[in-house]
Structure 1
């Protein structure tokens, strides 16, 4: 347990170092994302309708599957538990460290998304409220922005990319499916999943690069 805790501390410290090193890029990215939101938010209803316009039985089932297995507890932790067991079976320290980095990235990304959406209070598209910012709220119907599923899915996937790309690439594709499913099932606006994915990507790459650097040390 002590070794795991030391590894967690090292990965968190390494991820923080990368965030500090990338601070100008992150600030620039946030400014660009904010500017993009001015374009996307007014068009969210039309774009969401476009995403949901094709509703074949197959796509409805597919969206439900992505949403269920894109959940943090069921999907992220379950998948990474399997990955951890596999790392012991094949005796891969790289795979084991990648799994831990992914858990941390998904946790930080998801936690950040929860804090932001609790403060913002944007209604979900399936609610009966007019779109807008309703302020701090813990109500499920006012937790639309940003998407927690997108944040944790991309956090998981992007942490795997620098360390085990043969797992990371399919995981990124799956994360894209999760983001799509949240719109198709009318839980989130396009801007919600965009910002959630951006959060996940930032935390994922930071922890993934930190893990890769430790393997090279």
Structure 2
């Protein structure tokens, strides 16, 4: 057999192995994602008795308390354009969003686990992506339906985009200094200026961080620290009220914890089974 034919044969084997590895990786991604989603959904439906009503109650009380400080905190945190901290807030806010922050981070964690053959790290990456994605979808649904105007919403701009000036379905009978809209819920309006409550950045950044607190604690706590600054940046830029941040942040944090809890419970169960098999 000639050297060229042997080389072609070995190249063909390598291509086949690589294709097989890639196929196995896609199967792992699909199977684990499916089991994780169904597992978390099962936990949500059954509920953990001590926290079944506690978490929603904590969420409602926190939002209600934060609502009282919206106008005060708006003036306190708002930073004018041209300031260095305004520029910093813009950068933090940009990288704190789901497409720019969570997606590349999840891919990076997964590739790290793939490179070093760490299944637990790959599972953490999938949980990180899914928890932030679910939290973001829930928040988008809520703010589309409720339609709370952002603090930066302007009546003239709203008229340009919609052709009319919306009126609130539920009015809170207050307006911040320099504001154009009375605070309240205006219902469905397909424009970003009525996507105030809850905050999407707060939800996805908190979900990203809390999903890693058990599987990768050092990274999880570091990201939690960063998520706090993401929340600050949204208020500093005048995009959200304090209650928007609390509502989105708590929702994302609880969503991430649910994914983290289910992952680690399954991992510990699998480890116990493997130890028993070794003993046998």
TM-score (norm: length of structure 1): 0.92
Which residue pairs with 1:31 in the alignment? 57
Q: Which residue of 2 aligns with 1:162?
A: 214
RMSD after superposition: 1.9
Structure showing greater Rg: 2
**Shift in alpha-carbon separation, 1:126–1:205, aligned structure 2, 3 A:** same
Q: Is the 8 A contact 2:63 2:246 kept in 1?
A: no
Q: How far off is 1:168 after superposition? A: 0.5
| TM-score, length of structure 2 as denominator length | 0.72
Q: Which runs of structure 1 show a deviation greater than 4 angstroms over 4 or more consecutive aligned residues?
A: 53-56
2:69 to 36, 39, 43: 43
Say whether 1:182 aligns with 2:208.
no
Does the 8 Å contact 2:153/2:193 carry over to 1? yes
C-alpha deviation, 1:24, in angstroms: 5.5
Q: What's the CA shift string for 1:22-44, capped at 9, x where partnerless?
A: 36625333233323433322431
| Number of aligned residues | 217
- Structure 1: which 5+ runs fail to align? none
Structure 2: where are the runs of 5+ without partners?
Answer: 1-25, 155-180, 271-280
Deviation string 1:170-209 (CA, Å, 9 cap, x unpaired) is 0111111111111111111110010101111111011111
The answer as to 2:14 corresponding to 1:14 is: no
Supply the distance in 2 between the matched residues of 1:112 and 1:126 (Cα, whole angstroms). 23
Q: Which residue of 2 aligns with 1:58?
A: 84
Asked if the contact 2:205–2:230 (Cα under 8 Å) also holds between the matched residues in 1, the reply is yes
Q: Is the 8 A contact 2:59 2:251 kept in 1?
A: no
Higher relative contact order (CA 8 A, sep 6+): 1
Aligned twin of 1:206:
258
1:176/1:23 Cα in 2 relative to 1: closer, same or farther (>3 Å)?
farther
Say whether 1:74 aligns with 2:120: no
